Amino acid sequence: MLRLLEIEPAMQALHGVVMELDDCAFPLVAGIEPTSSLRTAFEGTSWALLVGSVPRKAGMERNDLLNINGGIFKPQGEAINAHAASDVRVLVVGNPCNTNCLIARSHAPDVPDERWFAMTRLDQNRAMTQLAQRAGEPVTEVKRMAIWGNHSATQFPDFENATIGGKPVSDRIPELDWLQGEFITTVQQRGAAIIQARGASSAASAASAVIDSVQSIVTPTPADDFVSLAVVSHGEYGTPEGLLFGLPVRSDGSRCQVVEGLPHSSFAQERIKVTADELEGERAAVADLLQPAS
C-alpha cells in the first residue's frame, strides 16, 4: 500500500499525482491512499519517503526556510516514532534535506541511526554524468562517486576517490583546474540551474534518484563501488557527530556502512570542512526544534 501524505490542505495537485501513479501501473503498488492524517500516513510503514517541504521563495533567508520546515519534519518524526513499523527506514528528500532529516530524527528516538537517510544520490548522478561526458565514456564506467556533506552549494563531489573505467579520474581527465573548478561548481549549482532553466525544481531526475537511493540501500553494493547517501555521522573522517552528512556508503542488502579509509588531499579536506561548517550552522539555526537526546 502506498500512502500519500498531503502536507498542505490547499494543495490541489494530489489528485493528479494519484492519477499519474495509477497510470504507471507499478507492479508493487497494491493500492494508493491519499491522507492528511500523519497517523494514517505512517501506520505500519516500512519506508517513509519524506518528499514534501516548503521551498525557498524570493525574500526568504535560509534560516526562515529551516524554521518553516521544522514545522513539517518535527511532527512527521513524531508520527514515525509512534506509528511506523519496527523496521522503518526514512529517506528525506525535501530541502534542506540533511537538516530536515536531522529534525525528524531527533523526534523519533526509537528509530535507530542506521535507518535515517537524506538524499545526495541526485548529486552523485549529476557528478557521474559530468565526469562521463568530459571523459567521453559511458556513465556506467564512473564508480565510487562520493558526495560529501550537505545537499547544497557547499557539497564536495569527490573526484579524487572516483574512478572511470577502473582508473583514477585524473588518468582519464588530467585537467586538475577543471576538476577542482568547473566540475565542482557545475554539480553544486545544478539544482539552481535546473530551476533557472525550467522554472521549477528538478522532478524527474530527483524521482529517479529516490529510486536509486532506495535500491542502493536494499541491494548489496558491487565490490568495486560505493554510493552516496547522507547518513548519521559517528565522526567518520572527522565529520561532526550526529549530523546527517553525505558520505560514501556500502550496503550488504540490509545494513549500510560508511566506507572508511579513503584518502583526501588538503584541497578535499578544506572542501569537506566548508560543507561540515554549513551543516553545523544549520543545526545551530534549528536548535530549538531539536529534541534533546535522552
Extended strands (E) in 220-263: 227-232, 244-251, 256-258
> Of the ranges 71-79, 135-143, 199-207, 214-222, which one interacts with ligand LMR (CB under 6 A)?
199-207
User: 202 vs 233, which CB is nearer to ligand LMR?
Assistant: 202
> Of the ranges 12-20, 74-82, 200-208, 238-246, which one interacts with ligand LMR (CB under 6 A)?
200-208
Please, are residues 92 and 122 in contact by the beta-carbon 8 Å criterion? no
Residue nearest to ligand LMR (CB): 191
Q: Residue 265 CB, nearest distance to ligand LMR (Å)?
A: 26
For position 201 contacting ligand LMR by CB under 6 A, the verdict is: yes
How many Å apart are CA 122 and CA 112, to the nearest integer?
25
Out of 84, 91, 145, 194, name the contact with ligand LMR by CB under 6 A: 194
- Residues 85-124 vs ligand LMR: string with x where CB under 6 A? ----------x--------------------------x--
- Residues 13-52 vs ligand LMR: string with x where CB under 6 A? ----------------------------------------
Helix (H, G, I), strand (E, B) or coil at 186: helix
Closest CA to 52 of 98, 7, 12: 7
> Of the ranges 39-47, 198-206, 219-227, 275-283, which one interacts with ligand LMR (CB under 6 A)?
198-206
How many Å apart are CA 43 and CA 26, to the nearest integer?
22
Closest CA to 242 of 256, 259, 230: 230
Q: Residue 125 CB, nearest distance to ligand LMR (Å)?
A: 10
Q: Residue 176 CB, nearest distance to ligand LMR (Å)?
A: 26
For position 202 contacting ligand LMR by CB under 6 A, the verdict is: yes
User: 41 vs 206, which CB is nearer to ligand LMR?
Assistant: 206
Please, are residues 217 and 89 in contact by the beta-carbon 8 Å criterion? yes
Q: Is 246 exposed, middle or buried (0-12, 13-18, 19+ CB in 10 A)?
A: buried
- Residues 139-178 vs ligand LMR: string with x where CB under 6 A? ----------------------------------------
Backbone region of residue 243 per phi and psi (left: phi > 0; alpha: psi in -120 to 50; beta: other values): beta
Residue linked to cell 533557472: 196
User: 128 vs 259, which CB is nearer to ligand LMR?
Assistant: 128
Residue 151 bears catalytic tag = yes
- What secondary structure letter does DSSP report for 292? P
Catalytic residue from among 15, 83, 107, 151: 151
Q: How many residues does the chain have?
A: 294
Extended strands (E) in 32-162: 32-35, 47-50, 89-92, 116-118, 142-143, 146-148, 156-158
How many amino acids of this chain bind ligand LMR (CB under 6 A)?
8
Applying CB under 6 A, the residues found at the interface with ligand LMR are 55, 95, 122, 191, 194, 201-202, 206
Catalytic residue numbers? 151
